[in-house]
Amino acid sequence: MASKAQRMPLGLRILTYGFVLVWFILAAFPFFWTFWGSFKVELDFFSIADWTNALTGERTKAAYDSAFTGAAYKGAWVQEEFWRNVINTFIVCFFVVCTSLTIGTLGGYALSRSSFRYTFWLLITALIFRAMPPITLVAGYLLPFFEWNVWGILPTTIIVLVAINQPFTLWMLHSFFQNIPKELDESAKVDGCTQFQAFRHVIVPVMWPGVITTGLFSFLLAYNDFAVTAMLLSESNRTMVPAIAAFLGTTYTEGNVMFAVAAVVSATAPLFILVMVFQRQIVSGLTAGAVKG
């Protein structure tokens, strides 16, 4: 039971809960609204005449005899073959995460264990590249990619995304590695490991939460990227985000905007699941080093 000293006055308690409630509604409303609207027709959800149509679904009822319809999903997934974009996104994400984590863990480990001065400057250089907007890099890439005939395909995009992503993963993993005492490596080496075995058997298992957290951030960057994927992918190779943008760009045909809404919901759902599954690792990864182990 809470002691008297810990108990808050009633007014303050109402204020706190009220604030949390308002914040929750503000934060969650757009998602619920989009989710709700994705089962309507365009004339309801984007109704100019009466916004309450989005709630009641007048036009949806008129068209499909029900206040809810999966027409937008069907249009997006079947007619527009959105599943191809989904597959493309996952191919891009998979390779971006794998490549940047491999380079990031090896590089971060090497930099954290190196006693040379230049490691500091390497990291600063990485930070500068991280600070640049990705689009500034893409402009420079475009011409050579056309010339070499590698524009529009997934591998090119993956390489560019890895390049943009790498400074961040390097920094993040480097700081995780620095929190692991050097004695652990040394102890492993005296116990009979080579440098790489020490890394593989001793350091990586300790680092695991950090690798997962970094991998997740890296995944999100690739998943959410618009600038690079929109500029570098041809229409047939689009990932989800530029595909959604393309649906929005064709407002002349009725229904296409609803494809975008349905696609947005489809694209958001996996993120929720992902964060739910990995929440424990993310939190422990983000707070690793805050507490002495």
Instruction: Provide the binding-site residues for another protein, judged by CB under 8 A.
Output: 181, 183-184, 186-194, 197, 201-202, 205-206, 208, 293
Q: Residue 84 or 189: which CB sits closer to another protein?
A: 189
Q: Provide the residue type at 97 as one letter.
A: V
Least separation in angstroms between CB 188 and another protein: 8
Q: Residue 140 or 192: which CB sits closer to another protein?
A: 192
Q: Residue 158 or 198: which CB sits closer to another protein?
A: 198
Nearest to 167 by CA among 115, 228, 118, 221: 221
Least separation in angstroms between CB 134 and another protein: 36
Angle at 259 between CA 257 and CA 265, to 5 degrees: 110
Nearest to 274 by CA among 220, 231, 195, 229: 220
Least separation in angstroms between CB 176 and another protein: 14
Q: Residue 49 or 190: which CB sits closer to another protein?
A: 190
Q: Residue 13 or 200: which CB sits closer to another protein?
A: 200
- Label residue 235 exposed, middle or buried (CB < 10 Å: 0-12, 13-18, 19+): exposed
- Label residue 132 exposed, middle or buried (CB < 10 Å: 0-12, 13-18, 19+): exposed
Q: Residue 10 or 291: which CB sits closer to another protein?
A: 291
Q: Residue 74 or 201: which CB sits closer to another protein?
A: 201
The CA distance from 121 to 125, in Å, is 6
- Label residue 26 exposed, middle or buried (CB < 10 Å: 0-12, 13-18, 19+): exposed
Residue 97's contacts (CB-CB under 8 Å, 6 or more residues apart) are 215, 218, 219, 222
What's 2's DSSP letter?
A: -
The CA distance from 116 to 114, in Å, is 6
Least separation in angstroms between CB 200 and another protein: 10
Least separation in angstroms between CB 169 and another protein: 22
CA distances from 115 to 3, 29, 110, 112, 245 (A): 53, 51, 10, 8, 47
Least separation in angstroms between CB 182 and another protein: 9
Least separation in angstroms between CB 120 and another protein: 17
